[in-house]
Amino acid sequence: MKVLQPCAGLLTNHEVFQLLTDRGAMGAVDVSQGGMGPAAIECQVYRYLCAAPAATQTRAAVAACTEWAASFGLTRAETLQLVNLRPSQPVEAHLTARCGCQVTGWSSYYKRLKKRCQQHQK
């Protein structure tokens, strides 16, 4: 993966994971910088993303989730949150949607999201 335009928009965790994988972020940390240089930060981010859903996502899955989330009229940040968290259980969807319900009254959003998660379980 190559960065074409820096600061062009939001990136999913999967895109960051792919970029770090391509750059070889899983390599050894340069101890001459006290382990606090850019390489060390990249390694820490890479380790975090290895344990997150980003490590098992595909571009096609991210695109499908983004397209599906568009039907809810979510902002780009909310869509990004769903892609990065990838809720697969109704309780996770409830926790994600509950914040939105409290702020904007998205009860229909929650019902559709819960139904989608239940379909995902089958």
Whole-angstrom distance, CA of residue 98 vs CA of residue 105: 9
Q: Looking at the predicted structure, is the pLDDT value of residue 1 above 50?
A: yes
Give me the phi and psi of 120, to 5 degrees please: -65, -30
73-116: pLDDT as tens digits: 778 888 888 888 887 665 555 555 555 444 444 566 667 766 76
Please report, as a single letter, which amino acid is at residue 114: K
Query: Domain map of the chain by residue range?
Result: 1-70, 71-121
**Arithmetic mean of pLDDT, 45-60:** 90
What is the DSSP annotation of 71-102?
A: TTT--HHHHHHHHHH---SHHHHHHHHHHHHH
For residue 29, give both structure tokens.
Answer: 């940390």
Residue pair 12/84 in contact (Cβ under 8 Å)? The answer is: yes
Helix (DSSP H) and strand (DSSP E) numbers for the chain: 6, 0
